[in-house]
Structures are given as C-alpha cells and as structure tokens.
Structure 1
C-alpha cells in the first residue's frame, strides 16, 4: 500500500490500516523506516491530538485489569480509546508473549477501542522503541484517549512520562514501607497515584497505603504544572470498578487547568525536544552496528586488550572513523 493511501485510511479511522502502520513504524528495515517517516510527516498535518495517559506500576499490581475497566468506562461515555500495551521481552531470546490483549477480553470486543500489544525488545524505561510513534498514529486515527501501559517498572524507569500528558502510577496496598513514598524518581513524575485492589480483605490496607503516599506527596517540591492538591493519591478497585469515575474526574480537572495556563502545550514542546535528541542518539548508536563498525571495534578492542593502545585513544580513533569526533 502506498504511503499516501495508508495515510488516508488511517485518517478515516480504518483500524486495519492503523495496525499495519504500527507494524511499519516498529520495523527496523531501512526502507520501512523511510516509509514510516514519510507517513508520520503526512499524518502530522492533520493536527489531531488525543489525551495521552501513561500508566506504570510494578508487576502484578493490576495494570491490565485497570486499563480494561477504565477503558470500558470511557467507551461507555462515547469516547474512542486506544491502548498501547508494552510487554516485556526476554533478554535471552528476545521473544515476547504479548498477552495483554488476551487479558482485556471485554475491551478488545468494543468497536470504539483499539488494543495493540508490542514487545519492549529489552528497551529500558518500560516502553518500546517506537511507542511514541504509535501514539502519533493513534491520534491521527481519531482516538480521544491513548492509554500507554508500560511493562512492570521500578523507581527510575520514567520514559513513559516523556510521551504522555498525564502519568498515572498504580500501586498495590501494603506493598512496602512508608519510606518508599518519599523516594525520588518515579514518584516525582507521577501526576496521580492510584492504589489498586482496594476491595475485600485488602481495602483497609489500601486506605492506609493511600494515606501514607498522600502524606509523602506533600513533602515533595511543588511543581509549576500542578494546581493546588496535585499530585494526589487515591484508592481504586479495577476488579469492582470502584473509584474509576472519581479518578477520571481528577484527570480531567488537571488537564483543563494545564490547558488554561499553557502548561499542556509547553510540556508537549519539551517532549518534542527530548525525542529529537533521543532520535539523534539512537541514530548514532545504530552506526555502531554496521559491519564496518563492528569489525573496527573488534580490531581496536584487541589492541586495547594487548596494551598496544589506551582505551581513550582507541575510542577517539573509533569516533574519527565514524565521523563524529570533536
């Protein structure tokens, strides 16, 4: 399919064309990368934007269950929802199960919903290499909300915050000591903390955990992009669909405040700068994977191992060969 034709189909909301386009942008083939860049440039002219919500949390916290319940609620309100679920890849084989779509059985049946699982391919930060471009494709296809579900991440993996308008951190009740709440990293990036599984025997523990994190958030330095009372923590039960309406209301309040005061556009501009620099870095790293570069690396590393040249001098020689030495 020609790039222009694929672009038209995506703009008309064709789900198959969208899936095909995401496969295209995820490909590492040089000709596919050229076509993907052309496609993204064409679609950018539409100017369509969606609310991008990044969702992170540790493994087993119930991210997929929350996304399905939350997505079903949004669909019931007449919104079109796209879910980009990133599954972990094996560091040994590179394979992924990609089971998130199977977990979201109800949501996957909805015509107003689109679910795309992607392998992380051992990329750090909880997202796949081309997740940002997949978000742009979903926006062009006319979706109102794009949910980006990361793999289970730790305290320092916050890349998803660089591609979303709202960053939700999902926590499990009684997950650790109160000191976790004042640690930097992912806590500083979160806009709303949701303590999931606030039901049954865990409800009281969830309430205590929420109170602990609410107190911890008050100790963090206030951010200019937050109104009074944000970031905040609250309890939800994805299983019983409790607290979802309240969480959505808080999200809309925060979004409207940021839009009215110019933080929304400012954040997106900063994110564009970040991804420009990241694409440059990745392009430079890709040059190290060419046959010439790998052969030269082997030669120089042998010389370093033999003591014939220092590591610093060998690195400078390598950089000169790549044409990037200062």
Structure 2
C-alpha cells in the first residue's frame, strides 16, 4: 500500500505576486496623441522664428530623416527659414586628438553668451561605419553650456556618408540662424575629411593644438594648417604655460611660410586655457578682427556665395548617388558585377560602365 504524501514537493512552484504590465496604457496614449499632433511646416517655421528650441530640434530631426515622405516637408521648412538666415558668424573648430575640443567649446560658448551672443553648437561627424558611433557624449560633457538659455547643442546624425551628414549640418545652420542664433560653432570630430567639409560651410576656421604634440602629428597639422585662419594652443596652464608659449612662437613662424590667403588675412597663433578661461576672450577678438577685415574687402560675402553654390552642386552629387544605389535594377546588377570583378571576369572600369549605361537607359 502506497504512503500518502502529506507535504508538497520541494520543486513545486508557488504562485507569486502578479507583475504589473510593463507598458503604461496612459503613456502609450500620450505618445500616440503626440505623434498625431506633429506640427505642420508652417507651424514649425512660425515657432522657429519665435526662437523655440523644441521646434528647432524637430525641424533638424526632419532634415536628418532619410524617409522620402519627410523630404518635402523638410524642404518647405528650409525654404521658409532661408529669408531669415545668413545673419550669423559661422566658426569651424577642429583639433588633434586629446586637444580638449569639448572643454574649449564650452568655455568659449559660455564666454560668448556672457557678452550677449546666442550660440548654437553643431557637429560634423561621418561616424564609424563599423560601430556607427557618434559624438553624443559631447552634449553630456558640456554640462553648463547645455543648460544655458542662450545656447543650443546638437550632435550630428551618424552612420551616413560624410557628404550626407555635412549637407544636413549645412541645413541645420540655416534653421539655427532663423531661430535667432547669431554665432554658430561647428565642431569636427576626429581628423580627416570632415575638416574639408566644415571649411566649406564656415566663415572662420579655428585649429586647436597642443604644445609638444610630437612629430607623429606633423602630417595631420600640415594639411589643416593651410586651411586655418587661427591656431590656438590649448591647455596653456600649470606646468604647460612655458611650452605653450614656445609653441605659439613656432606656429607663428610656420604660418608665415604659407602663401598669403585670398582673404588678405594673415593667420596667427595664440594660447589659451579652457580650464582657467585665460585667453578665451582673445580668441573672439581675433575672429572679430578677421570678420571686420573680410567684410570691408568684400571677401566675406564672396565666400558665402561660393559656399552656397558649392553646396548646391554637392547636393546634386549626393542625390544622384542615392538614386543610383537605390535603383532596384541597379542593385541586382551591382551584385552580379561585384562577383564578376572579384573573379576577374570583367575589369572594374568596364563593370562601372555597364552599370552606368543601364542606369541612364532608364532615365
């Protein structure tokens, strides 16, 4: 006769406390209402012109969108803001790795807002094609500037070609200017092609450098120095002051070896400390000196017109490239030709010609 069990098995699972739903129904309703109430292009334009940063962020997000349905609305917003743009001073800021760009931009931005300027900080970053990493960390590192009512910080879109990101930054400049920002700081991330893109959309190009950075960076410096309108040796504080002053002398000598710029401006080197704010006001004085000179000799307006023309052509190139690679027949043919090229069945140039002929035959 089997014995009757008086105790439940140790493996028995007792009823626990029922967990609440992980999604709040009220939050879902709020989000759905928000999405239904997306402002029209006219509403965005009107609010941007009133200085509304929320509307500005929404408009930039619209511009950054890769959705074809957003393109028409984005273009409408840009068109409405364009008559109110082109009234700022655009400054490009780049520097060797570890130079302290974020610290400098925060100190410089805080100085500008203290003298009554409205500052927008944008970034051009093609980002990593592997990790799709972007510069979102900059916004958290500029803790004080991001809280400033007269400042606006916007990281660039990531994971795209440099041309696409730069074009969207160019349009973001127009939106920021229409929103009332009179000083636009455009930061480049890393050292490379992004400098060329930024140089083609700013009035003044500033290179941040370090004292005793080492010979391994000379190649980087050379190319960017040719574009720079001023060089600022950062971290000129503590034990580094003497080295920074010597570096300033060396850079000023080097700058005199470059041909005279078509702007009539002679680039100069100076020192500063973003940590102690020493020399920060001098950087702005240099920019104003450049601005005054180039406004008087007509170079400033001439350069702006050339830049607008350049970006029109760049936008055409970018759009043609997107249309080409998104064409269904080209996508299929591209894969076939890639394999043929890898197997040495056709030369890369002949394969490219086949693809282009196919593309143009459909247009």
What TM-score, normalized by structure 2, do the two folds share? 0.83
Say if 2:51 is the partner of 1:16.
no
SS at match of 1:245: helix
Match of 1:293 in 2: 330
Match of 2:357 in 1: 320
Match of 2:292 in 1: 256
Match of 2:278 in 1: 242
Match of 1:83 in 2: 121
Match of 1:165 in 2: 203
Worse-superposed segment, 170-179 or 137-146: 170-179
Say if 2:138 is the partner of 1:96.
no
Q: Is the 8 A contact 2:124 2:198 kept in 1?
A: no
SS at match of 2:98: coil
Say if 2:59 is the partner of 1:26.
no
> Would the alpha carbon gap of residues 143 and 183 (structure 1) be closer, same or farther in structure 2, given more than 3 Å must change?
closer
Say if 2:260 is the partner of 1:222.
yes
> Would the alpha carbon gap of residues 96 and 223 (structure 1) be closer, same or farther in structure 2, given more than 3 Å must change?
closer
Worse-superposed segment, 45-54 or 4-13: 45-54
Q: Which has the larger radius of gyration?
A: 2
Match of 2:16 in 1: none
Deviation of 1:136 after TM superposition, in Å, equals 1.0
Q: 1:1-326 alignment to 2 at 5 Å?
A: 1-86=39-124, 89-96=127-134, 98-121=136-159, 123-124=161-162, 128-154=166-192, 157-177=195-215, 180=218, 184-227=222-265, 230-290=266-326, 291-323=328-360
Deviation of 1:73 after TM superposition, in Å, equals 0.7
Distance in 2, Cα, partners of 1:174 & 1:309: 51
> Would the alpha carbon gap of residues 212 and 313 (structure 1) be closer, same or farther in structure 2, given more than 3 Å must change?
same
Deviation of 1:89 after TM superposition, in Å, equals 3.0
Deviation of 1:128 after TM superposition, in Å, equals 4.4
Distance in 2, Cα, partners of 1:316 & 1:155: 28
What TM-score, normalized by structure 1, do the two folds share? 0.91
- What's the Cα RMSD here? 2.4
Unaligned residue ranges in structure 2 (runs of 5+): 1-38
Deviation string 1:87-138 (CA, Å, 9 cap, x unpaired) is 5733213243601111111111111111112244364489645111111110
> Would the alpha carbon gap of residues 72 and 246 (structure 1) be closer, same or farther in structure 2, given more than 3 Å must change?
same
Unaligned residue ranges in structure 1 (runs of 5+): none
Q: Is the 8 A contact 2:126 2:162 kept in 1?
A: no
Large movers: runs of 4+ above 6 Å: none
Q: Is the 8 A contact 1:156 1:186 kept in 2?
A: no
Q: Is the 8 A contact 2:206 2:231 kept in 1?
A: yes
The alignment of Structure 1 onto Structure 2 pairs a total of residues equal to 323
Deviation of 1:150 after TM superposition, in Å, equals 1.1
> Would the alpha carbon gap of residues 122 and 42 (structure 1) be closer, same or farther in structure 2, given more than 3 Å must change?
closer
